[in-house]
Amino acid sequence: SFPTRRSSDLKEFHPKVSAILNLTPDHLNRHHTMENYAAMKLRITENQDSSDFCVLNADNPYTLAMGQGKLKPEVIWFSSHQSLREGFFLQGEEIVRAKNGKTETLLNIRRDMRLKGLCNVENVMAAIAMTEAAGVPMEKILKAVSEFKAVEHRIEYVDTLRGAEYYNDSKATNPDAAIQGIRAMDRPTVLIGGGYDKGGEFDEWIEAFDGKGKTLVLIGQTAERIAECARRHGFEHILMADDFSECMELCMKEAGPGDAVL
């Protein structure tokens, strides 16, 4: 396997509750294969024992395989796509907890959350699972969820200019995270993409536009690769920029009332 960097850091690290939310191709310029990348992620459980907990995504094939393997901590599952016998799952617009043969509705994602997007629903389920496992009363957990606003740089609403909503999603540094961003949009969207090349592919991101992608404004090292991929998928409305100032100028020209810029 690929040798770990600073592996000594894990000698004493023993979380009461750990979590691996999902696993998709990323940082392959460093880890080379998904098997190495998954093994590195799984090391968060290395010093845990049977009295500890690990929260895992039941919908992701890599984390599903982890939980079905020989993990020492007790696994707590969450899912946004299927009902679970044990764990937290999304049922319609409600987050439900299944435990000891009983189910309980915890919150409505539209009424009781300020966050946008399915990815944030999954994040909330994982956070509820982790904090409850750590001993926090559910009443306090749900109050915190209802009051929580989007963190900086992650589908963060910035402003409305000339009728177009602007969102800062610069935390989306790999295709999977960017997919969650465009899925959270409910209107025609001008997207800024590009940046450093970490070895990922862009097909699924382009496919996730699903008619919502209005214009693609590209910048940086991966601009040409993304443009080629977009054209292969029949998306032709592509603009190139030299810096972020030019990106914003182009976005302001492209985005009209009722649109979004991501």
pLDDT (tens digit per residue) in 200-230: 789 999 999 999 999 999 999 999 999 999 9
DSSP 149: P
Question: Is residue 182's pLDDT more than 60?
Answer: yes
pTM score of the predicted model:
0.66
Rounded-to-integer distance, Cα 57 and Cα 76, Å: 9
Q: Which long-range contacts link 89-97 to residues 24+ away (Cβ below 8 Å)?
A: 89/58, 89/125, 90/121, 90/125, 95/121, 95/124, 95/125, 95/128, 97/128
Rounded-to-integer distance, Cα 130 and Cα 44, Å: 14
Residues 6+ apart with CB under 8 A from 5: none
Report the pLDDT value the prediction gives residue 144, as an integer from 0 to 100. 97
Residues 6+ apart with CB under 8 A from 229: 201, 202, 203, 206
Report the pLDDT value the prediction gives residue 30, as an integer from 0 to 100. 56
Question: Is residue 147's pLDDT more than 80?
Answer: yes
Q: 94 falls in which pLDDT band (50, 70, 90)?
A: very high
